[in-house]
């Protein structure tokens, strides 16, 4: 008899995804602020671009994780 693949509890899985999403977005914002402080005078271009990029990466990660959860 083949072993059944053990799935994590849904609440634990989804709270982990939310935490990963928050970490990705926060890291991109902090990196953008650091780059703006060190490499530009007064523009916030790095913060804006990296914040939006972090949001898109986090959403892609959520979508892929949800696809894997259903399988």
Q: What is the per-residue pLDDT across 19-36, written as a single tens digit (0 to 9) for each?
A: 999 999 999 999 999 999
Would you tell me how many other CB atoms lie within 10 Å of the CB of residue 4?
6
Q: How far apart are CA 70 and CA 13, in angstroms?
A: 12
Residue 5 has pLDDT above 80, yes or no: no
The share of the chain scoring above pLDDT 90, in percent, equals 62
Q: How far apart are CA 69 and CA 62, in angstroms?
A: 10
Please provide residue 12's backbone torsions phi and psi, each rounded to the nearest 5 degrees.
-70, -40
pTM value is: 0.81
Q: How far apart are CA 43 and CA 51, in angstroms?
A: 14
Most confident of 2-11, 27-36, 39-48: 27-36
Average pLDDT score over residue span 44-62: 95
Q: Do 36 and 45 meet the contact criterion of CB atoms below 8 Å apart?
A: yes
């Amino acid at each position: 008899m083949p072993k059944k693949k053990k799935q994590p509890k849904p609440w634990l899985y989804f709270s982990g995804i939310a935490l990963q999403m928050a970490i990705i977005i926060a890291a991109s914002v902090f990196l953008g602020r650091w780059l703006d402080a060190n490499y530009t005078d007064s523009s916030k271009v790095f913060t804006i671009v990296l914040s939006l990029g972090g949001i898109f990466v986090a959403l892609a990660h959520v979508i892929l994780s949800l696809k894997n959860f259903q399988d």
